[in-house]
Amino acid sequence: MAASVGDHVFIGNDVVVGNACVIAERVKVLDGCVMPAAMQVPSGVVVGGTPARILGEVGDGWGVAAAGTLGDGEWLEGGDLRALIRSVK
């Protein structure tokens, strides 16, 4: 079965998405994450680890057009995720 990925989802490098995974909108999947089959990911969260787990919420501004772009396809990533990324093993 195929996976389902919502709008405004960032999937990092070397991510493995198992069969029948459902990733809702405004989700950030960190580099190297391994998502097991049939994992359900709700909207607005950060996912990481091996196996994958929900680590927190994305910050304000996710999916908001950058100032002055007027919808030309540029998007902002809200929140400071550096500390969260460092905590994933």
Tokens of 80: 């400071």
Domain ranges of the chain: 1-89
- N-term to C-term CA, the chain: 29
Cβ neighbors of 86 (< 8 A, separation 6 or more) are none
Indicate the pLDDT class of residue 85, thresholds 50, 70 and 90: low
Q: Confirm whether pTM is higher than 0.75.
A: no
- pLDDT tens digits, one per residue of 29-72: 999 999 999 999 999 899 999 999 998 888 765 554 445 444 44
pLDDT at 43: 92
Query: What pLDDT sits at residue 87?
Result: 59
The rounded distance, in Å, linking the Cα atoms of 47 and 29 is: 5
Instruction: Please tell us whether the domain made up of 1-89 is placed in CATH 2.160.10.10.
Output: yes
Residue 58 has a pLDDT of 82
